[in-house]
Structure 1
Amino acid sequence: MTDADALYAVSPLDGRYGSRTAPLSPYASEAALMRARVRVEVEYLIALADLEATPLELDLEERERLRDCYRAFAEEDAELIKKLETEGHGEFEATNHDVKAVEYFVRHRLPEDGDASPWIHFGLTSEDVNNLAHRLLVRGAVEEVLLPALYEVRDALADMAREHRDVAMLARTHGQPATPTTFGKEMAVYAARLGRATGRIREATDGLRGKLGGASGTYAAHVAAYPEVDWPAFAREFVAGLGLGFEPLTTQVNPCDDLAVLFDAFRGANDVLLDLDRDVWLYVSDRYLGQEAVEGETGSSTMPHKVNPIDFENSEGNLSKANSDLTFLADYVTTSRLQRDLSDSTVKRNVGAAFAHCLIGYTKTAAGLETVVPNEAVMRDDLENTPEIIGEAVQTILRREGHEDAYERVKALSRGRDVTLADFRDLFDDLDVPEDVREELRALAPGTYTGVAGALVDELE
C-alpha cells in the first residue's frame, strides 16, 4: 500500500499504522490465507500419494514442483486465485467459493499429462483446509511477530529494573503515600508478570490443534472410497506433519477451544501492559519519570512546553481495543449451530485485526520505555516531604518490644496531620525503650525504608 492509498484505507491498521502492522501481513492478509490453503491442499495430495491404497503416484520432482506452489507463492498467484473465485480462468468457471478456487489453482499448476487432478481435495470439506490454514497462520504470527515484540518489552523492563534497582521511590496504595519501594523493583514486577504471560502464550501456541474429518467429522467420504484405510490415523499423522496437535472429535468445524485459550492468553499479557501503561502515565504525571523530547515533535497544539506520554496512551488504547476483539473472538469461534454454520468464517478473518492492535500496543510501549528516565531528585524530595511513611516501621518495632498500644500511638501522631521527623523523634524520646532501640528508631528515614526491594530485582530470571 502506498502512502496515498493509506490515506484512504478504511481501517487505521492498514492506513495510519500500516508500517507498524506490516510484519503481520504474511500471516493475516488474504494472500497469506490463500498461500496457507495451497500448502494444506498440496501436502494433503502428497500424503494421499503415500497411501498404499490409492493409485496416486508422485515422484520427487513432482512433489517439489507441487510444494513450489506455496513455497514460491507470489502476488500473481494470489491474483489468479481471486480471479478463479470471482471471474473464472481458462477451463474453470468462477467458483464464488474461496477454497474451491484454491483447489482449481492447484489443478491449474499440475502438469497436463498427469493424473493427480481427481485427488486434489479428495474427501475434504473446506473447513478441513481452513482450520489448518488458519492455525498455521496464527502460529506463525505469534512465533515470528507477536512474541518477539513482547519479549522486547519484557527485556526492556528487566534492564530498567536492574539499572534502577536501588532508586528509592514513594509507593502509593489507594493513591495515598505508602511504604517506599524502588523504581527497579516496580519494573521487575512487570517484567516477571510479562514473563509468565508470554509463557502462557507459548504454551497455548504449542497447544493449537487441527482436524481433518470431512463434512461432519466422521470421515464418511473417505471410508466410502477406501474402507480399509485407517483414516483417523492418517489424519492424525497428516496434522502432526504440519506441526499441529490433532483434534479427533469434531463436527464439520474444529471446536476452536484451542484458539480461545490462545486469545485469552494474549488478553492476559495485554492486561499486564495496560497496567504498566497506566502506572507509567501516572509516574510521568507525578514527574517521577522524565521523558526525552523528540526533536521537532509537537507535544500540544497550544502548549509548546508539553511532552506528552503519547506512546503509553496509544498503547493503552490499542491494547484495550485488542482485548475487546479477543474477547469477542474467543466467545464466537467456540460456538457453531449444529454441525456447522458459516458465521465463523467472516469472524475468523478478523483475528489479524486483533493481533494488529496487539502489535501496535507492544511496539508503542517499547518505544515509550526508551524515552523515560527516573527523576531521582523528584523521588527523593517526595520521600523527604512524606516522613509519616516511617510510621509503619515505628509501630512494628514497638510491637516487637512488647508495646500493645504501638499502632494507636503512631496513629494519634500521624493520621490526618502534617508530621515531621522531629515529631517522631519527640515520640521516641518519650518511649520506655532501651537506648539501642531508641537509636534504631531514630535511624529510620523515608529514603532508606525500602526493605529488600533492590535485592528482589535479582529474583528476575
Structure 2
Amino acid sequence: MPSHITESRIHGGAYSSPEFAAIFSDSNQVQTWLDVEQALAATQAEMGIIPHEAAREIARVAKVELFDLQALGQESMETGHILVPTIRALAKACSAHWGEYVHYGVTTQDILDTGLILQIKDAWGHTLSRLHSIREHLRVLALRYQHTPMVARTHGQQALPTTFGYKVAVWLDEIDRHLKRFDEAQARVLVGNLTGAVGTMAAFGAQGFEIQRRTLARLGLAAPLTSWHSARDRVLEAAWLLVQTSMTLGRVANEIYHLQRTEIDEVREHSRAGQVGSSTMPHKQNPSTVDLISALSRLVRAQMVALTDAAFQLHERDGTTWRIEWAALPELFIYAGALLTRMDGVLAAGLDVREERMRSNLDLLGGLILSERVMLALAAQFGKQTAHELVHEVSLDSRRSGISFRDALLKHKRLQGCFTPQALEDLLNPATYTGLAADMVEQVARKPLSTPLHGAGEGAISTQGTLSQSQYVMEDM
C-alpha cells in the first residue's frame, strides 16, 4: 500500500508526475546501475582488459526486467549494502564464468553516482521541455495583453497603472534566465564518475582516464578531472536550478491566486467541468491548481535544506550524509516535476483574464492612482519636493472627504489655475500612464531564444533516448 503522498492514490497523483516518478522509480534506478556496469564492461573489452564474450554476456542480461527487485531489497537489508545484491544478481545471471568480470575495478559510489546523473539527465530533458512549453504560453499571453491596463500593487496597495502583459513579461523574462542557467550548468552537472574506491583510479592503473572517458561517453556523460565522491556541488547545482525555477513558478501561482480573490477578481484559473470548490458552499470556485503549485514550490525548497546537509561529506566518502541525498533528491525532483506539469496545464487551459474588472479597479481610488503623474506635472512650477507635499495633502483630503482626486485638486487653493479641466482629465487617464510597459513586453516576447531544448555536457553525446542505450558496441581501435 502506498504510504507517501507522491504515490498516493487518494491524492490522484497531484504531488507527482508520471515522467518524473518513472525516472526515480526503483526499476529505473536499478536499470541505470546496470547501464553503467554494461558500459564499463564494453569499454574494458575494447581495451583488452576483459574478454569480449564477458562484455557481450553482461550486456545481454543487464536488463532490469530480469531481476527480482523485492529480492534485491531484502538482500540489501541483510547485507547492509545497497549495490552488492545487484552486482551478485548480475554476475549470477551471466552464463558460464562471465559474471566474474562484472564491476571490474570500480566502487559502489561510482555506479550509484553515475546512475544518479543518468536519472538527472533524463529529468533535465523533461524539465526543459516543460519550461519551454510554459515559456511559450507566457509569451503568447504577454503579447495578447501587452496594452491591457491594470493596477500595479506594491506592499499590497494600489500603486500605479501597468499592463497585464507587462506583468506576464516579467515572469517570462525570469523563465528565460532559468533556461540560460540550465544551459550554462549542463557541462558542470552532466558528468559521471568512475574513479574507484578512494577516487585515485588505482584499480584501473595507467588506463584509468581512458576507461572513464570512453565509458561515460557511451552513457552521454562527460568525464570529471577528479573524483567527486565527496564533492556534491554537481548534485546541489542540479537541485538548486529546480528550486529556483520552482520558486518562480510558485510566485506566479501565488500571484494568480491573489488576483482571483473576490475583491480583486482580475484573473481566474480555468474552471474545469465537474470541479467543486467546497463541500458545504456550492458557489465556491477555488483556484485549486495554483494553490497546489504554490504548495509544491515550498516542498521543493524544503528538500534543498536536507540536500545541503548531504554536502558535508567526511574524508573521501561518507555514508552518514550521502544517505540523506538518496531520500531528498528524488523527492525534490518528483515535486518539481509535478509543479512543472501542473503549471503547464494551467496555462494551456487558459487563464480567464477579466479586462473590464481590471479597468474598474483602476478607478477604485477615484484617480489617486495617478498621483505621481500629477506631482510630476506640478514639479515644473513648484519643484518636485513641494509638489509631492501638495499632492500628498490633496490625496489625504480626497480620502477624508470622500471627493474624487480630480475635484480635490481643482478646489485646492494653491493649485487654482494650474490645470484646465481637460488637461486634468488627460492626466488622470490611467490607460495613458503605463510608461514603457508595452515596449518591454515587446523586448522580452520578441527576442530570439538561443537556449536549446535538449543538450548534454561538454564532451558528451546526445541526451535523446532511453536510459538503457549503452549496449555492447565495439569501437575501432
The normalised TM-score by structure 2 is 0.82
> Do 2:256 and 2:290's aligned partners in 1 also have CA atoms closer than 8 Å?
yes
- 2:357 is matched with 378
1:110 aligns with 2:87: no
Q: Distance in 2 between matches of 1:14 and 1:432?
A: 71
Q: Distance in 1 between matches of 2:325 and 2:376?
A: 57
1:58 aligns with 2:34: no
Q: 1:25 to 1:279 in 2, by over 3 A?
A: closer
Q: 1:203 to 1:128 in 2, by over 3 A?
A: same
Q: 1:365 to 1:434 in 2, by over 3 A?
A: closer
Secondary structure, counterpart of 1:181 in structure 2: strand
**Bigger relative contact order (CA 8 A; separation at least 6):** 2
Q: Distance in 2 between matches of 1:137 and 1:417?
A: 62
Q: Distance in 1 between matches of 2:136 and 2:397?
A: 41
Q: How does 1:200-349 map to 2 (within 5 A)?
A: 200-208=181-189, 209-223=191-205, 229-250=206-227, 253-285=229-261, 286-329=264-307, 331-349=308-326
Deviation, structure 1 residue 403? 3.4
> Do 1:41 and 1:121's aligned partners in 2 also have CA atoms closer than 8 Å?
yes
Deviation, structure 1 residue 371? 5.0
Q: Distance in 1 between matches of 2:182 and 2:73?
A: 36
Q: Distance in 2 between matches of 1:311 and 1:102?
A: 40
1:168 aligns with 2:174: no
- 2:26 is matched with 30
Letter in 1 for 2:225: P
Q: Distance in 1 between matches of 2:351 and 2:394?
A: 38
Q: How does 1:399-414 map to 2 (within 5 A)?
A: 399-400=379-380, 403-404=383-384, 405-414=386-395
- 2:406 is matched with 421
1:361 aligns with 2:339: yes
> Do 1:31 and 1:78's aligned partners in 2 also have CA atoms closer than 8 Å?
no
Q: Gaps (5+ residues) in structure 2?
A: 448-477
1:448 aligns with 2:432: yes
Q: How does 1:99-138 map to 2 (within 5 A)?
A: 99-112=83-96, 116-138=98-120
Letter in 2 for 1:236: R
Q: 1:306 to 1:155 in 2, by over 3 A?
A: same
Letter in 2 for 1:48: Q
Q: 1:178 to 1:358 in 2, by over 3 A?
A: same
Deviation, structure 1 residue 347? 2.5
Q: Distance in 1 between matches of 2:252 and 2:208?
A: 50
Secondary structure, counterpart of 1:207 in structure 2: helix
- 1:21 is matched with 17
Q: Distance in 1 between matches of 2:142 and 2:109?
A: 47
Q: Distance in 2 between matches of 1:67 and 1:400?
A: 81
Secondary structure, counterpart of 2:272 in structure 1: coil
Q: Distance in 2 between matches of 1:423 and 1:394?
A: 12
Q: Distance in 2 between matches of 1:291 and 1:97?
A: 48
Report the RMSD for the aligned CA atoms in angstroms. Answer: 2.8
Q: 1:197 to 1:400 in 2, by over 3 A?
A: farther
- Comparing 234-243 with 267-276, greater Cα deviation is found at 234-243
> Do 2:105 and 2:204's aligned partners in 1 also have CA atoms closer than 8 Å?
yes
How many residues were matched structurally?
Answer: 429
Q: Distance in 2 between matches of 1:84 and 1:367?
A: 38
Please give the per-residue CA displacement for 1:38-92, whole angstroms capped at 9, x wherever unaligned: 111111011111224x3x3327xx766644545xx353x241x55356469xxxx
Deviation, structure 1 residue 136? 0.6
Q: Distance in 2 between matches of 1:263 and 1:451?
A: 38
- Comparing 212-221 with 342-351, greater Cα deviation is found at 342-351
> Do 1:42 and 1:106's aligned partners in 2 also have CA atoms closer than 8 Å?
no
Deviation, structure 1 residue 182? 0.7
Q: 1:97 to 1:385 in 2, by over 3 A?
A: closer
Q: Gaps (5+ residues) in structure 1?
A: 1-7, 89-93, 224-228
Letter in 1 for 2:138: L
Q: Distance in 2 between matches of 1:84 and 1:294?
A: 44
Secondary structure, counterpart of 2:318 in structure 1: coil
Query: What fraction of aligned residue pairs are identical, expressed as a percent?
Result: 22
